[in-house]
Structure 1
C-alpha cells in the first residue's frame, strides 16, 4: 500500500483526517518525515497517534476490521474464555467503551446465539454503580459482540499480581462494594456464577465494578454432544465457573444454584487477595473441586495474624460447605463486613493510642501558646485537659484529646489568658452539669419510640470478650441488667450484635412507637464454629483427625 493510500485509509476509518496526517508529517524534521508505508505507521505509533494494534492491522492491509458497528477499535485490552476485549471509541459521539467480541468457537455452538442475546438483554437492565453496564450488542460479520462501559482501572487479579496482597481495610472495602453490586443483581434475578478477582474491576477512584454479569453461562460450552433445548442455560454435566472459586453445589449442578453460590465465590476471592493464593489448591480441576467439598475451611489468621478475628469468622461462614450454613443473602454479607470495618477501625485507633503524653502535651503547648514545647515547673502543674496528663490508653481518650486540641489549633497562635488556661474546667463544669440534667430529664419525659430487648447474659459480656451492641453502626453503652433494654427511635434502624465466638448479627427493623423487638446472642453451633488455626496446622502436618 502506498503512503497516499494509507493516509486515505486512516482518514476513512476516522482515526485522523487526511489533512491532519499530512500537516503532522510536514511538521517533523526532514530526516524523520515518513517515506513509505512502514515508516509512516511506525512514526504514528511512536507519536501515540495510533496504537500498536491499529498499526499492525493497517500494515496487514486489514484496517477495515477496526470498524465494528458504530465503533472504532483502538486497542486490545484483554483476552478471556469468551473472546477478546477491545478499547473502542464511538465514531460520532467519541466516548470510549469496551467491546467484547465473542469467540467464533462459541458462536458455532447450537443455541449459543439465543443464549447470548437473552443474557445480554437481562444484563442491559442492570444499572448500578458497582456493576459494569452493558450498553449494546449486535452482530458483526459472522460474529457477535457486546459493548460495555469502559472502566479506567485494573481488575483485582492484576492488582494482586503487580502490587502484592491487599491491606485488610482495602479488602473489606472492595469486597463490600462487590457484594453491594451483586446484591442488586440478585434482586433482579441474575446470578453471576463466576465471581473471582479477575471479574472485579477497581477504577482510578477506588470504585469496584463487577464484570461479565450474567454471561458466565457462555464460558464453557464444550460439553457433551447430547442435544438440549435451546432455552436451556446449561448442558448436561457441564461445569460452569472457575474451579478455584466454585462452590461445592455449583460443581455438582450449575443449573440449581442460587445467590449463595456467589457468596461462596466472593469469600474465595477475599481469601485470595488477602493471602495471595486460593483457599484450596490442587494439581487438577477435579482435585480442586474435591478440596472445596471435603477439606477444612482455612483460616486467614494462619497467614495474616493481623486480620481481625471477626473477619475470619465472616469468611468461615461465607465458605461453609452447605448453602444453608452460609449467609443467606448478600445484604447479610454487607452487614457483616460493615461490622468488620468497625473492628478494623477500632484496631487502627488503638495503634494511634501509642502516642505518648509528652508528645501530645508538647504539640498542644507549641500550637496554643506560640512558643517552644519547653515548659517551666509552674506550667507543668497547669491542668490542661486531664486526659493529657496520662498515657492515652483508650481510643475514645485519643478522640477526646484531639477534640480539645483542635479548636485551639484553629485559633492560630493567639495566646489565651492565663485565667482561661488554668481554670477552664471550673467554667465548663456548670455547663456540663446542665447538659447532664437535660439528658437525664429527657428520660423523665418518657420515650416515644420502641425498645430493643437483647438476651445477653452478663457473664458473657466484658471487654475481654470483644463484644459490642450497635445501633445504625454506632456502638451504644448498656448496663448490667439482662435482658438489655434499649430505647430506640421510630423509623428504620439496624441493630448489630458482636462478640468473639458468636455469630455476628445485623438486623434491619422498622421501629414503631411502643413496640419491642427481641434478639438473642447466638453462639456458633458445634461443627461450624470459629475455626481453630491449630487444627489446620495439625492437618497439614499429617494428622489423621
Structure 2
C-alpha cells in the first residue's frame, strides 16, 4: 500500500462524516405509521445473548428534523407542514418517529433516507448529482447504493469506492482508464457503466440498476440450481465476457457474487475492470506511464474461483483465466460449494494447482457425462487444456445442454496427470508434446484433461527455450562431475596412505 505521506492532497484517509451512512439498521413502520427500529434482522458479529440497539444519536427535535428534510430537497416545506397539521392537530406535541414513518408510508422518503436524517446525516444522501435512496450492499471495494438522478425517474446503482482506493494516485488513474474502457461496452449480459465522478474526495461509479440478486445469494437462498438453469446462467455470462474479451478486457474476478440474475432470468456480469483498480495490478512510474510491475504480495481475484496461473502471477491472467473461474462458478451453481475447500487461504489456493479436479457426477448423478467432461476442460490446470475462447465455451455448453442424463455410474474423482499440470516454468503451461492426440476423455473414466492444439510459432519458441534450458543444466552437471573426479581420486589415495604403518614390522628371528 502507498505510504500515508504520499496520499493525494484533499483525499480522505477515512469515509467523511457527511458521506452516506453505512451502518443504518433496518427500520419499519408500525400500524400508527411510526418509524421503528427493527431488531429482528440479522446482526452478524453480535454475541448470541446480545440484542441490537438503535444508534444513540437521533434527531428528536421536530424543528431540526423538519429543517433537515426540507434542506435536503426531499420534501417541500408546504407538504411537510400540511402533513404535520393532519397528524398533530392543535397543540398536540409532534413525535418525530411518527412523522418520519408517515412520510415513508406516503413514499416521500425511503426508510433509509428517514433513518439517515434522524441520525443527522442528511447531507450524505447526495453524492454528486445523485440522490441516495437505499443501501444495496458493501464489500472490499466500498459501498453500493440505489440512487436516482433528479432529471430522471430511473433507479441506478452507485458504487462509492473506499478511501484507500480514492487516495492512491495510481488507483485513481487506473479507475478512470478502466471505466473509460468499460463504458464503451454495450451488451445485455453486462452491467452497463453510465457515469463516474468524485464527491467529497471519494470516487464513485454509476451503473444500471439490476432488480434481482447475485448468483451466490440465489444459491444460498434456494439451493443448487437445476442443470439446465446452471448451464443457461453460465452461457449468458460467457456471452457477456466474450464481448469484453473482444474489446481487450479481462475480468479477473469472475465468481457467483459478480453475476447478477434479474427478475427476467437475465444474467449480467458485474464489476468489469474494477479488479485491476482494487488490487493495483499495474504500477505507475513518476511520469504516470504504465509499467509491467506487480505490487508485491497482491493477488487479483477471489481464491475460491482463481486460476493457478493468476494466483502464481496476476500478470498472467488472460481470457482463459476467466474461463477457469467460470468453470468454478458452474461447480458452485450445481453443488452449492466451491471446487476446492480448505481451512486456510493457502490450502484453498494450492488446491487449484495440486489437487484433482472434482467430478460433478460424484455430487449429482443428473449431470450428463458430456457436461462433466466439458467442465473438466474448463478447469484444466494448464491453459492449453481449456477451451481457448468464450466462443468455444458457449458452443460446448450448448451441446452439453442438449445431452440427456446418463445412467452410467458416477465418474471416479479425477487424478492429476503429467500432461495437465500448471507449469511455472512456462507462461502458458503448455501441454507436453508427448500428450496423446485424443482431445476427448474416455466416457465413464476420470478425465485425461488432454487438449492438443496446433503448434504455432509462440509454442515452438517456448518449447525451444525449455529444451535449451535443459541442455544448459546437463552441461553444468557434466562439468561438475568431471571437476569432482580428481578430488575423489586424491581423497582415495590419502585414505590408503593413512592406513599404512609408520614403521616396518620386524621379521621374526629363527631359534
TM-score between both structures, scaled by the size of structure 2: 0.65
Q: Name the CA distance, whole Å, in 2 between partners of 1:192 and 1:333.
A: 16
Q: How is 1:56-455 mapped onto 2 (pairs within 5 angstroms)?
A: 56-221=115-280, 231-232=290-291, 234-344=294-404
Question: Alpha-carbon deviation of 1:75?
Answer: 0.8
Are residues 154 and 34 of structure 1, via their aligned partners in 2, closer, same or farther at CA, if it must alter by over 3 Å? farther
- In structure 1, what is the equivalent of residue 30 of structure 2? none
Question: Alpha-carbon deviation of 1:224?
Answer: 11
Question: Alpha-carbon deviation of 1:15?
Answer: 2.3
Are residues 324 and 34 of structure 1, via their aligned partners in 2, closer, same or farther at CA, if it must alter by over 3 Å? farther
Q: Name the CA distance, whole Å, in 1 between partners of 2:149 and 2:85.
A: 29
Q: Name the CA distance, whole Å, in 2 between partners of 1:529 and 1:66.
A: 60
- In structure 2, what is the equivalent of residue 407 of structure 1? none
Moved more, 81-90 or 232-241: 232-241
Verify the 8 A CA contact 2:88 2:94 in the aligned structure 1.
no
Are residues 133 and 38 of structure 1, via their aligned partners in 2, closer, same or farther at CA, if it must alter by over 3 Å? same
Q: Name the CA distance, whole Å, in 1 between partners of 2:378 and 2:129.
A: 43
Are residues 183 and 224 of structure 1, via their aligned partners in 2, closer, same or farther at CA, if it must alter by over 3 Å? closer
Q: Report the secondary structure of 1:129's partner residue.
A: coil
Q: Name the CA distance, whole Å, in 2 between partners of 1:230 and 1:46.
A: 53
Query: Per residue, is there more strand in 1 or in 2?
Result: 1
Match of 2:439 among 516, 521, 524: 524
Verify the 8 A CA contact 2:376 2:447 in the aligned structure 1.
no
Are residues 108 and 245 of structure 1, via their aligned partners in 2, closer, same or farther at CA, if it must alter by over 3 Å? same
Q: Name the CA distance, whole Å, in 2 between partners of 1:242 and 1:343.
A: 32
Q: Name the CA distance, whole Å, in 1 between partners of 2:357 and 2:296.
A: 29
Verify the 8 A CA contact 1:136 1:148 in the aligned structure 2.
yes
Question: Alpha-carbon deviation of 1:144?
Answer: 0.7
Q: Report the secondary structure of 1:255's partner residue.
A: helix
Question: Alpha-carbon deviation of 1:238?
Answer: 1.6
Map Cα deviations across residues 163-184 of structure 1 (whole Å, 9 max, x no partner).
1111111011111000000001
Q: Name the CA distance, whole Å, in 1 between partners of 2:212 and 2:93.
A: 35
Gaps of 5+ in 2: 1-58, 409-436, 449-511
Q: Report the secondary structure of 1:131's partner residue.
A: coil
Count matched residues.
Answer: 359
Verify the 8 A CA contact 2:281 2:300 in the aligned structure 1.
no
- In structure 2, what is the equivalent of residue 22 of structure 1? 81
Question: Alpha-carbon deviation of 1:222?
Answer: 11
Map Cα deviations across residues 479-517 of structure 1 (whole Å, 9 max, x no partner).
xxxxxxxxxxxxxxxxxxxxxxxxxxxxxxxxxxxxxxx
Question: Alpha-carbon deviation of 1:30?
Answer: 6.1
Question: Alpha-carbon deviation of 1:59?
Answer: 1.4
Query: Per residue, is there more helix in 1 or in 2?
Result: 1
Map Cα deviations across residues 449-489 of structure 1 (whole Å, 9 max, x no partner).
xxxxxxxxxxxxxxx9xxxxxxxxxxxxxxxxxxxxxxxxx
Q: Name the CA distance, whole Å, in 2 between partners of 1:158 and 1:269.
A: 13
Q: Report the secondary structure of 1:281's partner residue.
A: coil
Are residues 336 and 117 of structure 1, via their aligned partners in 2, closer, same or farther at CA, if it must alter by over 3 Å? same
Q: Name the CA distance, whole Å, in 1 between partners of 2:221 and 2:394.
A: 27
Verify the 8 A CA contact 1:106 1:221 in the aligned structure 2.
no
Verify the 8 A CA contact 1:191 1:259 in the aligned structure 2.
yes
Moved more, 139-148 or 37-46: 37-46
Q: Name the CA distance, whole Å, in 2 between partners of 1:235 and 1:227.
A: 16
TM-score between both structures, scaled by the size of structure 1: 0.61
Are residues 172 and 40 of structure 1, via their aligned partners in 2, closer, same or farther at CA, if it must alter by over 3 Å? same
- In structure 1, what is the equivalent of residue 7 of structure 2? none
- In structure 2, what is the equivalent of residue 52 of structure 1? 111
Q: Name the CA distance, whole Å, in 2 between partners of 1:319 and 1:180.
A: 18
